[in-house]
Structure 1
Amino acid sequence: MSQLLLIADSGSTKTDWCLVEDGKAIRRIPTKGMNPFFQSSDEMAAEIRENLLPQLPVERLDSVYFYGAGCTPQKSPEVEVTIRRSLPVDGIVEAQSDLLAAARSLCGHAPGIASILGTGSNSCFFDGKEIVKNTPALGFILGDEGSGANLGKRLVGDILKDQMSPALKDQFFQQFGLSQADIIERVYRQPFPSRFLASLNIFLEQHRDDATVHRLLIEAFTAFVKRNILHYDYRTYPLNCIGTIALVYRQELTEAAETLGVRIGTISKTPMEGLIEYHRLNSKEN
């Protein structure tokens, strides 16, 4: 009989569900994000029943693997119970962190260094089975070096403190229609400041050839590597990354890493393809 797995890669805003039959993806279904820190069990169950279940072309699932932001050891059991009561699954239901998703996707069943560089950043050393070392991410105020939020924070700081040319400063304010007061309001008083700061990254991408922008990017990724990756066995293992920031700024990330003696390995936008392969091999072994 064929094996039907459902794999989810979830953030706070969007969840990518992938139905996998005998190791091959047969349908991708997007729904809203599911984060147990921000949503109740009933809210998550409603999202599954209303927006996922009607699109699933099967009556039973053999297992469900859910990877998401907020899936800490304390919160994962709640997510697992919610999934089991909301979906027709006979076997395993597993909820794990987005960092373990990155590790399994990038490293498979082998040891290695895995990281996330998206709106936030995180990293770990993975022994092929589990995360055995993790430098705390600490969020965009205390950490998250090299993340989209961190890059945006550096950008607005440099713009407002006249560390960039008047021409770039004028372009920035015209492009985003923001004033200094607007930025202060969005960062300090409105919800989701990290998302706002990360949304400004397009400006850095557009002006990456400018010397001051290049320096900002190199300094940000140098801080990411120095404060996070150098805690792991980087002389033996390359740095593997998941996330849009890593993909867009591969060149600058590589330049910063190599200066510190760190090799760059695999870079992927999302973990899904690697997770499909990981669970395909896992099914064979079992």
Structure 2
Amino acid sequence: MILIADSGSTKTEWRGIDHHESQSCITKGINPFHQNTEEILQILSEDFSLDRSLIKKIHFYGAGCASKDKTLIVYNALTNFFQTETIDIESDLMGAARSLCGTQSGIACILGTGSNSCVYDGRNIVDNVSPLGYILGDEGSGAVMGKKLIADILKGQFSKELTALFYKEHDTNPVQLLHNIYKKPWANRYMAQFARFLWRHQDWDEIDKFITNSFDEFIKRNLLQYNKVLQLKINFTGSIAYYFDSILKKALHKNGLKAGAITQSPMDGLQQYHSLQK
């Protein structure tokens, strides 16, 4: 069995492939910027439910896996848990590129809890604007949309009606919001959950404008930095891109860019990619 993992900050999707059959499970997110080897092992021990004895090779695509030192943290956890040394670890961005573009050239983007983008030549990532994380960057991501939504709510930038609706739906108040962001771990996950509020109420003009501005910022600060951006299709994977696809496509069109594939998860594309690599 070949095991493919797509890991973000919020969750990790695992899919075991044996000939034409597959089985899946979900664990908590794995990111070596936030977890050490022991903490990753704990997640696997608690949540992983597939039969480990059948796994012969692992392709792991993960957030935070772009450098050797961080990759080693994940590698040590995987070799310990799965008892196999046939493990290939790549960044989640490479996973997105292979899933969306296969062996063709294109621009691949992630819009989920975090955001990222790259130019892909069909084999390698040849250009990448650093996402910088949700504090300095990650434009258009769920975490940054949530962060800006909360900030605008607290600073009175939305109508009284929408602000009241926000507090009612989440049964919260300014004190609780600030406590959860500044005093508890995983603030990015916490803030990203408020993207659901934006999705539920995107028919409000002020919400539509807010989402559009978020995508415009992602385009300006990331996509427009690439020399070939006007020649290549722009492909996306991730929950934010998937659920706000109509607004995203309008933002791309407004900036003269060509929309390509938009998927909720890279997993189906990764399964197809690795099936063809045999």
TM-score, normalised to structure 1, is 0.89
Q: Match for 1:174 among 168, 174, 185?
A: 168
Matched residue, 1:198? 192
In the other structure, the counterpart of 2:247 is: 252
Does residue 161 (structure 1) correspond to residue 161 (structure 2)? The answer is no
1:145 aligns with 2:139: yes
How far apart are the structure 2 equivalents of 1:51 and 1:216? 36
Q: CA deviation at 1:127?
A: 1.3
CA 144–43 in structure 1, closer or farther in 2 if over 3 Å, else same: closer
1:259 counterpart letter in structure 2: K
State the structure with more CA Rg: 1
Q: Does 1:282 align with 2:271?
A: no
Trace 1:32-111 onto structure 2 (pairs within 5 A).
Answer: 32-48=28-44, 51-52=47-48, 55-56=50-51, 59-74=53-68, 75-89=70-84, 92-111=86-105
Aligned match of 1:222 in 200, 210, 216? 216
Deviation string 1:209-268 (CA, Å, 9 cap, x unpaired) is 111111111111011111101122121111111100001100111111111111111011
**Structure 1 pair 62–158 and aligned structure 2 pair: CA distance change class (3 A):** same
Instruction: Look up the match of 1:27.
Output: 23
Answer yes or no: is the 8 Å Cα contact 1:154–1:216 preserved in 2: no
> What's the secondary structure of 1:55's corresponding residue?
coil
Give aligned-pair identity as a percent.
39
In the TM superposition, residue 105 of structure 1 has moved relative to its aligned partner by: 0.5
1:89-134 CA-to-partner distances (Å, cap 9, x unmatched) read 47x3101111111111001111110111011111111111121111
Distance 2:111 2:198 in 1: 15
Contact 2:36/2:73 (<8 A) preserved: no
Q: Which stretch of the first structure deviates more once superposed, 247-256 or 4-13? A: 4-13
Instruction: Check 1:61–1:184 CA distance in 2 against 1; reply closer, same or farther (3 A cut).
Output: closer
Contact 1:9–1:272 under 8 Å retained in 2: yes
Residue type of the alignment partner of 2:225 = H
2:94 alignment partner AA: L
Measured in 2, the distance between the counterparts of 1:147 and 1:134 equals 17
For residues 280 and 119 of structure 1, what CA distance do their matches in structure 2 show?
A: 28
Q: Which moved more, 1:171-180 or 1:210-219?
A: 171-180
Q: C-alpha separation between the residues in 1 aligned to 2:55 and 2:32?
A: 23
- Structure 1 residue 269 corresponds to structure 2 residue 264: yes
Contact (CA 8 Å) 1:60, 1:88: kept in 2 or not? no
- Is the Cα contact below 8 Å between 2:4 and 2:14 reproduced in 1? yes
Q: Which runs of no fewer than 5 residues in structure 2 stay unpaired?
A: none
Q: Which amino acid aligns with 2:146?
A: G
Return the alpha-carbon distance in structure 2 between the equivalents of residues 159 and 111 of structure 1.
41
Q: Aligned AA for 2:17?
A: V
Query: Is the counterpart of residue 14 in structure 1 residue 11 in structure 2?
Result: yes
User: What TM-score results when the alignment is normalised by the length of structure 2?
Assistant: 0.91
Which residue does the alignment assign to 1:238?
Answer: 233
- What amino acid maps onto 1:20 in structure 2? I
RMSD: 2.0
Distance 2:223 2:142 in 1: 18
Alpha-carbon separation, structure 2, partners of 1:206 and 1:51: 30
Between the two proteins, the alignment pairs up a number of residues equal to: 276
Q: Which amino acid aligns with 1:176?
A: H
C-alpha separation between the residues in 1 aligned to 2:44 and 2:153?
Answer: 43
Gap change, CA 1:43 and 1:167, over 3 Å in 2: closer
Amino acid at match of 2:12: T
Once the two structures are superposed, residues 62-99 of structure 1 have per-residue CA deviations (whole angstroms, 9 ceiling, x without a partner) of 32101112213222234234323432547x31011111
Counterpart in the other structure of 1:133: 127
Residues of 2 paired with 1:41 and 1:188: CA distance?
25
